[in-house]
Structure 1
Amino acid sequence: MIKRVQTKQIFVGNVAVGGDAPISTQSMTFSKTSDVATTVEQIKRLHFAGCDIVRCAVPDMEDALALKSIKEQIDLPLVADIHFNHKLALIAAEVVDCIRINPGNIGSKEKVAQVVKACQARNIPIRIGVNAGSLEKEFLNKYGQTAKGMVASAEYNIKFLEDLGFSDIKVSLKASDVQRTVDAYRMLRPKNSYPFHLGVTEAGTLFHATVKSSIGLGALLLDGIGDTMRVSITGELEEEINVARAILKDSGAMPDGLNIISCPTCGRIEADLVSAVAEIEKRTAHIKTPLNVSVMGCVVNAIGEAAHADVAIAYGKGKGLVMVKGEVVANLNEDELVDRFVYEVEKMSEESN
């Protein structure tokens, strides 16, 4: 497990964010929020995929008024995403679990103060969501669209909320490129103890968003930075959660299910490894116990990797070994190995729970 920077803990509905709470995953609906039925259906899809917190865009009054009905039909904590019109935040604050404001477009101090008062009345947090593409003019003119400008905006707005007696704050510092995003989070982290919401915004389609988010969010998680996160993908809702959970697992931030170690394809492979790993992934997808498993296709690395895995297959020519904690438990024909492997994995998972 990585050692995380300790932060103040806040609550978004019943989900703890910061402190010693697990790093939560978030996503955002893409329907018109006023289309209650479609929005609720999307939120339920996200819930089923493993999402912890969901956000809805609230660009107009019709959307703001729909939040009450949406909230009554879902189980996930609901965040209202507000830009330009602070009055929409005042309405949303009556029913949602968190308000996200963009300092670059929400308006005057007086308008922000009204939002703070509304959130204080219901004891709900505010996310200060700084975006490189919409910085306030004073920071844009002084720093340009840089990490320094993003951090300056965040610090200014944090202090403003603190001066109003408000400290249920989380912060995001998003840019559309990895370097600025990582630089901004690293720069701000030592300056306060508020929880951070991580994300590379406008990251693109599944392939590009996965690469950008894995680099950026993975780097920050390995630094111990981050309390909640969203992987922004132009595509299906569930993919955001799948990629986010994979980043958390493979960075060591959230052990979750099997860590499958398998050979890269090469000329030494002595089995149909691609099909075997695909079948194993499918048949073990339900297992949430953190286990290291190895599926190796030749003698060069097979025994060494298998010796350090919880459960392993070491393929040879037409046959292979199944090993548990480095001990051989079966020497079988190739077509029998996956069944025995899955049996041993399920058995170990049950014994661990």
Structure 2
Amino acid sequence: MERRKTRQLHVGSVAVGGDAPIAVQSMTNTHTDDAAATLEQIQRLADAGCDIIRCAVPDMAAAEGLKTICKESPIPVIADIHFDYKLALAAIEAGVDGLRLNPGNIGGEEKVRAVVEAAKKRNIPIRIGVNAGSLPKDLLEKYGHPTAEALVEAAWRHVRILEAMDYRNIKISLKAHDVPLTLEAYRLMAAQCDYPLHVGITEAGTVNSGIIKSAVGIGTLLAEGIGDTIRVSLT
């Protein structure tokens, strides 16, 4: 198998892309403001072989919890941010090693630039995460329904916002419940850029069906040399 050649970035101590090993990522399902419970879960995941952990940051209480989590976590921590740029800034201040956010969804240029400048200072990568279930209305109208082309176009919209600010410390994911759609989207994106790709099937299903769908989807992409980080996402 020949791996797709990508640029390399670092999530804390973990190299992603280039010739680095494929990193395994997971996500906590505790409340991030409960630092003790979140750290206990992170430790169990790290013991099982997880390389990177992602924590939801829905409010400032969660961002506050990150201060302790980032200090004590045995593996790098990524903050999952939606819509509020202040949460991204607070997460960076708390010491996270990466952000998952879509710059087109957190406000105007000034807000995005504030996050980008803070991320640049700390050398923190940003993952663009596009999901078939939440595509922009204009793209759904253009393509009629979620398609691989729509997912890729949505991702490029976010990527270009960051590139216009001279920021290229970027990972990309394009996820769907549907395995063939996910495969097609990643193949298209892989042919168009050299950014590292985070692969998985979103909310693939319950344990048995979800593991099968994830194994087929992730396994197929890895067999084609596509994918630099992976995460299994069950419903």
2:198 corresponds in structure 1 to: 197
Aligned to 1:38: 37
State the SS of the aligned residue for 1:93: helix
Kindly state the Cα deviation for residue 132 of structure 1 after the two structures are TM-superposed.
1.1
Distance 2:216 2:134 in 1: 23
- 2:28 corresponds to 1:3: no
Structure 1 residues 5 and 124: CA distance shift in structure 2, 3 A: same
Report the structure number with the largest CA radius of gyration. Answer: 1
In structure 2, the residue corresponding to 1:6 is in which secondary structure? coil
Q: Name the TM-score, length of structure 2 as normaliser.
A: 0.95
Contact 1:103–1:130 (8 Å) recurs in 2: no
1:134: which partner in 2?
A: 134
Q: For the structure 1 residues 194 and 29, does the alpha-carbon distance in structure 2 shift closer, same or farther, using more than 3 Å as the test? A: same
Distance in 2 (alpha carbons) for counterparts of 1:141 and 1:32: 36
RMSD: 1.3
Which residue in the other structure is 1:12 paired with?
A: 11
Where do 5+ consecutive residues of structure 1 fail to align?
Answer: 235-353
Match of 2:175 in 1: 174
Quote the residue 2:209 is aligned against: 208
Deviation (angstroms), 1:104: 6.5
Partner Cα distance (2:118, 2:52) in 1? 21
Question: What is the aligned partner in structure 2 of residue 306 from structure 1?
Answer: none
Preserved contact between residue 104 and residue 130 of structure 1 (Cα < 8 Å):
no
C-alpha displacement of 1:47: 0.5
Structure 2: how far apart are the matches of 1:209 and 1:101?
Answer: 25
SS class of match (2:3): coil
Report the CA distance between 1:33 and its aligned residue.
0.4
- What residue is the counterpart of 1:253 in the other structure? none
Aligned to 1:69: 68
CA–CA distance in 1 between the matches of 2:221 and 2:110?
34
CA shift, 1:103, in A, is 5.2
Give the alignment of 1:145-160 within 5 angstroms. Answer: 145-160=146-161
The residue correspondences of 1:228-307 to structure 2 (distance < 5 A) are 228-234=229-235
Q: What's the counterpart of residue 106 of structure 2?
A: 106
SS at match of 1:66: helix
Note if contact 1:27-1:53 (Cα within 8 Å) is conserved in structure 2: yes
**Alpha-carbon separation, structure 1, partners of 2:197 and 2:11:** 13
The residue that corresponds to 2:165 in the other structure is 164
Q: Secondary structure at the match of 1:138?
A: helix
Normalising by structure 1, what TM-score? 0.64
- List structure 1 segments (4+ residues) > 6 angstroms apart after TM superposition: none
Amino acid at match of 2:89: L
> Taking structure 1 as reference, are residues 151 and 103 closer, same or farther at Cα in structure 2, changes over 3 Å only?
farther
CA deviation after TM superposition for structure 1 residue 231, in Å: 0.7
Q: What does the per-residue CA deviation read over 1:42-95, in whole Å, with 9 as the maximum and x for residues that have no partner?
A: 000000000000000001110011101111111200000011212101110121
Aligned counterpart, 1:118: 118
CA contact (8 A) 1:83 1:102 kept: yes
Give the secondary structure class of the aligned counterpart of 1:151.
Answer: helix
One-letter amino acid of the counterpart of residue 211, structure 1 = I
**Shift in alpha-carbon separation, 1:81–1:121, aligned structure 2, 3 A:** same
State whether residues 97 and 124 of structure 1, in contact with CA within 8 Å, keep that contact through their aligned partners in structure 2.
yes
Alpha-carbon separation, structure 2, partners of 1:108 and 1:147: 27
CA contact (8 A) 2:103 2:162 kept: no
How far did residue 192 of structure 1 move? 0.7
Whether the 8 Å contact between 1:200 and 1:216 is mirrored in structure 2 is: yes
Measure the CA separation in 2 of the matches of 1:22 and 1:60.
Answer: 33
**Partner Cα separation in structure 1 for residue 138 and residue 119 of structure 2:** 27
1:104–1:212 CA distance, 2 compared to 1 (3 A): farther
Change (3 A) 1:139 1:182: same
User: Which amino acid in 2 is paired with 1:63?
Assistant: A
For 1:53 and 1:201, how far apart are their aligned partners in 2? 18
Please tell me whether the aligned partners of residues 103 and 161 of structure 2 are also in contact (alpha carbons under 8 angstroms): no
